[in-house]
């Protein structure tokens, strides 16, 4: 008996020492085993590399504290979980806290509200069920990252029209790793890439691109580029060129510089109108003839694997415009009516560039045909709805078109490509051709081309912000001042530029999926009593039966 007690004591001491040793080792070595199918609790190698490369402390302030419904509490807890994971991989260089920005008295709440707006953090109006009905609550589903005195806001709620609140929150949760990793990478890198918006061909003005320039300027160095005067060495300083709605043709010398830039591994976003059509011109006259533009880019784009058609795309999934519908008491009556030539493109592609984005608003877009080119990979990232129709130019447009109810039979067609992504080694448009005249310095063709990327959009207004007619101030990109709706044009631009700059593959984190396993509400209503009985009453019955059985078993065994 003594030996037995001694053995048990030794075993207890050894187990206790082993447990202490295990906890000591756990302080220095982080180990996690993720048994989930989608690996929802596993950080990617890209994220781990970004966190390990931090050379200074990162402070993250999350404004998701307070009395929230269950869905937002889930988003809050998921944010805390992933930030704890981040902290485990960055050698204690990351600190985070959760605060309620609208705590305190009325004055403190107003100051906090205004301060967050100035930092670029947008509020969300949340409807909350109460005993008296519904109440509205302002929340800030966002975070602020601070690094070496610089600050960057992070939007946590990925809203999207047409899907349930559960799916919105699920998309937001599965996108957390990307938004935090991408923001930390941007704010911690020493050098910012350069983006050039071209000018000299009647492109969108600085006022029309105001929000695009400001939004991109938070992470990159942004400016204007005149292809006619810039030298080849100057082009080498830029990583991305954005050609937004040119009105006048490109010269052969300018096209040569674009070709040179692309074959040197540059990235380009083309936002082009092939047809001249404008709503303001229609308001000033009863009719307008939409005709083809002459940009002198067809041969170059054809060589790169696509053709922008000279047509207009009409789609029944479209935005609304204000029109006068009559007079009442001497005052004009304005009503919002659907305008088929302002399609809303709902991304259906699973490409990380557009995945989970809301609708993107356009104005008088066209269509794109893809052409197979060796060495290039093309992918349609934006397309129309199946309820579309093409109008070949020249075509006569009139605002009176809104009075005619569109015939659904005329708007039944396969979705038409509107936005295309092309990647690979681009062939030169000037191969076996002399160098164009007008170049200010001698330059030869790039002999060994590098891999480049290109995004082509058949609409020149997609990056244009609307202007306040009263004071001339710009509205946020994607905001429709008439319907007061916010479209995803800005998010698309930011995603597109991030994708073109990214060589590490960080944007692939947007493909991370957490399967939403929702309960069947109809089945819950039908089988509610059955499952309540199964979970509440049946265990009690089994416990009573087991107790009776044990009682008689013991009585039978020990009285024998």
Domain count along the chain: 3
Side-chain half-sphere of 183: how many Cα atoms within 13 Å? 23
Residue 132 forms part of a structural domain = yes
Give the Cα separation of 494 and 512 in Å (integer).
19
The radius of gyration computed from the CA coordinates of the chain, to the nearest angstrom, equals 30
Tokens standing for residue 89: 């991989």
86 within 8 A of 49, measured Cβ to Cβ = no
Q: pLDDT at position 173, please?
A: 85
| Most distant pair of Cα atoms in the chain: their distance | 116
Asked whether residue 195 falls in the same domain as residue 165, the answer is no
Asked whether residue 424 falls in the same domain as residue 553, the answer is no
Residue 398 forms part of a structural domain = no
Domain boundary among 167, 187, 207: 187
pTM of the model: 0.80
Domain that holds residue 497: 191-276+293-311+345-388+409-511
Residue 166 forms part of a structural domain = yes
Q: What percent of the chain lies above the pLDDT cut of 90? A: 40
Q: pLDDT at position 190, please?
A: 66
Fill in the DSSP letter of residue 474: B
Domain boundary among 473, 490, 511: 511
Q: Which of these, 395, 380, 370, lies nearest to 275 by C-alpha position?
A: 395
Q: pLDDT at position 444, please?
A: 55
CATH number, position 172: 3.40.30
Asked whether residue 102 falls in the same domain as residue 180, the answer is yes
475 within 8 A of 449, measured Cβ to Cβ = no
Asked whether residue 50 falls in the same domain as residue 110, the answer is yes
Asked whether residue 248 falls in the same domain as residue 363, the answer is yes
Residue 28 forms part of a structural domain = no
Residue 328 forms part of a structural domain = no
Residue 212 forms part of a structural domain = yes
Mean pLDDT by 10 residues, the chain (560 residues): 68 84 70 64 82 89 83 86 87 87 79 82 69 66 89 84 74 87 84 89 95 90 93 91 96 93 94 92 79 95 95 94 73 84 93 88 96 94 94 90 83 93 93 80 68 95 93 92 91 92 78 64 79 85 88 76
Give the Cα separation of 452 and 377 in Å (integer).
11
Q: Tokens 């700059």 — which residue?
A: 501
Q: pLDDT at position 113, please?
A: 81
On average, the pLDDT of the chain sits at 85
Asked whether residue 377 falls in the same domain as residue 428, the answer is yes
Q: pLDDT at position 92, please?
A: 77
Asked whether residue 479 falls in the same domain as residue 362, the answer is yes
Residues 6 or more apart whose CB falls under 8 angstroms from that of 286 comprise: 398, 399, 400
pLDDT digit string (tens) for 196-241?
Answer: 999 999 999 999 999 999 989 888 999 999 999 998 889 999 999 9
């Amino acid at each position: 008996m003594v030996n037995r007690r001694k053995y048990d004591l030794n075993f207890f001491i050894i187990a206790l020492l082993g447990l202490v040793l295990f906890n000591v080792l756990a302080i220095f070595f982080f180990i996690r085993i993720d048994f989930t199918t989608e690996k929802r609790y596993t950080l990617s190698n890209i994220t781990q590399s970004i966190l390990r490369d931090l050379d200074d402390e990162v402070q993250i302030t999350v404004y998701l504290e307070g009395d929230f419904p269950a869905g937002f509490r889930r988003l809050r807890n998921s944010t805390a979980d992933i930030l704890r994971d981040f902290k485990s991989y960055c050698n204690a260089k990351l600190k985070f806290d959760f605060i309620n920005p609208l705590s305190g008295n009325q004055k403190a709440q107003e100051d906090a509200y205004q301060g967050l707006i100035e930092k670029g953090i947008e509020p969300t109006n949340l409807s909350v069920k109460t005993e008296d009905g519904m109440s509205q609550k302002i929340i800030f589903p966002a975070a602020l990252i601070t690094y070496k005195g610089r600050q960057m806001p992070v939007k946590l709620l990925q809203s999207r029209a047409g899907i349930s609140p559960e799916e919105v929150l699920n998309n937001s949760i599965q996108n957390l790793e990307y938004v935090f990793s991408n923001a930390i990478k941007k704010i911690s890198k020493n050098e910012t890439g350069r983006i050039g918006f071209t000018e000299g061909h009647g492109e969108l003005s600085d006022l029309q691109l105001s929000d695009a320039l400001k939004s991109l300027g938070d992470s990159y160095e942004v400016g204007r580029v005149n292809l006619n005067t810039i030298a080849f060495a100057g082009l080498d300083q830029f990583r991305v060129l954005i050609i937004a709605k040119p009105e006048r043709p490109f010269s052969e010398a300018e096209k040569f510089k674009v070709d040179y830039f692309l074959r040197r591994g540059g990235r380009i976003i083309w936002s082009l109108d092939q047809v001249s059509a404008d709503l303001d011109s229609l308001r000033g006259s009863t009719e307008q003839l939409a005709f083809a533009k002459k940009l002198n880019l067809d041969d170059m784009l054809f060589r790169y694997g696509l053709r922008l058609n000279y047509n207009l795309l009409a789609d029944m999934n479209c935005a609304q415009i204000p029109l006068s519908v009559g007079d009442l008491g001497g005052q004009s009556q304005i009503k919002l009516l659907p305008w088929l030539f302002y399609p809303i493109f709902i991304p259906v592609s699973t490409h990380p560039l557009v995945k989970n984005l809301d609708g993107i608003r356009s104005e008088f877009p066209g269509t794109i045909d893809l052409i197979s080119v060796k060495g290039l990979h093309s992918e349609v990232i934006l397309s129309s709805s199946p309820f579309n129709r093409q109008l070949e130019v020249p075509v006569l447009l009139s605002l009176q078109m809104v009075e005619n109810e569109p015939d659904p039979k005329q708007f039944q067609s396969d979705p038409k490509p509107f936005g295309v992504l092309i990647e690979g080694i681009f062939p030169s448009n000037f191969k076996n051709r002399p160098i164009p005249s007008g170049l200010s310095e001698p330059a030869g063709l790039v002999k060994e081309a590098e891999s480049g990327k290109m995004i082509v959009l058949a609409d020149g207004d997609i990056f244009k912000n609307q202007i306040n007619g009263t004071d001339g101030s710009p509205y946020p990109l994607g905001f429709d001042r008439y319907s007061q709706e916010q479209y995803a044009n800005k998010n698309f631009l930011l995603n597109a530029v991030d994708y073109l700059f990214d060589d590490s593959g960080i944007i692939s984190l947007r493909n991370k999926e957490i399967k939403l396993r929702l309960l069947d509400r109809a089945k819950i209503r039908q089988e509610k009593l059955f499952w309540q009985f199964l979970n509440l009453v049946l265990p009690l019955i089994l416990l009573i039966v087991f107790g009776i059985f044990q009682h008689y078993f013991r009585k039978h065994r020990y009285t024998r």
